[in-house]
Amino acid sequence: MYALLKPEHRLVRQLAREFAEKEVKPLAATLDEEERFPVETIPKLFKYGFFGAAYPESEGGEGGDSLAYVIALEEISKVCATTGVIYSVQAGLGMGLFAKYGTPEQKEKYQKGAFTDKLVCFALTEPGVGTDASNVQTVAVKDGDDYILNGTKMFITTAGQAEWYIIIAVTDRAKKNNGMTAFIVHKDAPGFSVGKHEKKMGIRGSATCELILKNVRVSKDDILGKEGQGLKMALASLDSGRMGIATQALGIAQGAIDETIRYVKERKQFGKRISQFQNTQFKLAELQTKVDAGRMLVWRCAMLKDAGLPYGKEAAMAKLYNSDVANLVTRECVQLSGGYGYTREYPMERMMRDAKITEIYEGTSEAQKMVISRAIGVK
């Protein structure tokens, strides 16, 4: 499969794999155990240009493409899903919105920093707003040349660590879905604060927090895109986000297989290596086949995006399939590893916990089925 890649993409894979093994993997278990943000790793992701992998050099990126991005994201997610989701949110959602909708002034002020040392996060979800994104309750009331924002967001990835927050708020409720707007809010804006830090089952090192906005004043110059287009922008950005989470799930699954192969080739039972039993061989063959199929779904998304073609259905398919595969693969890998697989001495149990969220965020599996069924004309 990798032989089909261009030399530049094979180089990206090699560099990302080396970075993941050297810089990311040694910290993965500690980040999970301590539920700690990877403060050591993120500056290095900036330094080596990973966040700019899919963006042109003219904007401050590395001149690569979406395929380069998903290749790098898979390698990182193989060893640490926490770092993978931080990478995905920054490079896919946050920077993608600036790149597509930002004014030249906003790109200079915000996007430039997002390539070098500033984290960005995207805030749509609220306590009562999950799959139904049209039910946003955070409001923005016009006050002269400014807007006053009030509301609460929750389950926001990288919250508390980001410099800039893209907040979706209602500016005209009468216009319903056309009455929401995206605002750029700085972490130190008066009235803006980070609330509860969620204690999670998996990806425990990623900061997932509540955001509280109390009379936060935002200039009209910090509207991202046009007023009233916030929900449209948010939903469009989810295509990129779903491609990213599909890739994270792919990485988790491949990482679990890789670790399990190492284990079964060392562990002996009944005088034989576990890898010599046909059941083990056939099970891993089945799992690897599913993972390879999932990789093709992800690469198809990336290639469509790079060609400037719609890829919403394909992104939903990739996320639906790969999140299911990640959960299946990690459970089976724990089973193949026996009692040791259930302990924290080996990474398979962490990968199993990390895999579950891929069926939930960036749209649940049920939401992906809705997107796919509409796209194929089933209404």
Task: Clarify whether residues 355 and 317 are in a common domain.
Answer: yes
Do 146 and 243 have their domain in common? no
Count of the separate structural domains present in the chain? 3
The set of catalytic residues is: 362
Contacts 24+ apart (CB under 8 A), 267-270: 267/337, 267/338, 267/340
pLDDT at 130: 67
CB 248 within 8 A of CB 356: no
Within this chain, do residues 224 and 236 fall inside the same structural domain, yes or no?
A: no
Same domain? For 159 and 114 the reply is no
Shared domain for 360 and 255, answered yes or no, is yes
One-letter amino acid of 42: I
Same domain, 206 and 223: yes
pLDDT computed for residue 244 by the predictor: 96
Q: Are residues 262 and 354 in the same domain?
A: yes
- What was the pLDDT predicted at 315? 97
Residue ranges for the chain with pLDDT beneath 70: 130-131
Q: What pLDDT is attached to residue 238? A: 86
Residue 114 per-residue DSSP state: H
Give Cα separations from 242 to 85, 89, 128, 245, 316 (angstroms): 11, 10, 21, 5, 7
Domain around 351: 232-375
On whether both 241 and 371 belong to a single domain, the answer is yes
Single residue among 104, 119, 134 that ends a domain in this structure: 119
The tokens 């926001």 sit on which residue? 156
Same domain, 240 and 332: yes
Rounded CA gap, 180 and 353, in Å?
A: 35
User: Does residue 252 sit in the same domain as residue 343?
Assistant: yes
Classified as helix, coil or strand, 152 is strand
Out of 119, 153, 179, pick the residue that ends a domain: 119
Q: What is the CATH number of the domain that holds 279?
A: 1.20.140.10
- In this predicted structure, what is the pLDDT of residue 60? 84
Q: Choose one of 70, 96, 119: the last residue of a domain.
A: 119
The neighbouring-strand residues paired with 167 are 123, 183
| Pair 159, 222 in one domain | yes
CATH number at residue 20: 1.10.540.10
Q: For residues 245 and 370, state if they share a domain.
A: yes
Report the candidate in 172, 171, 149, 159 with the shortest Cα–Cα distance to residue 122. 159
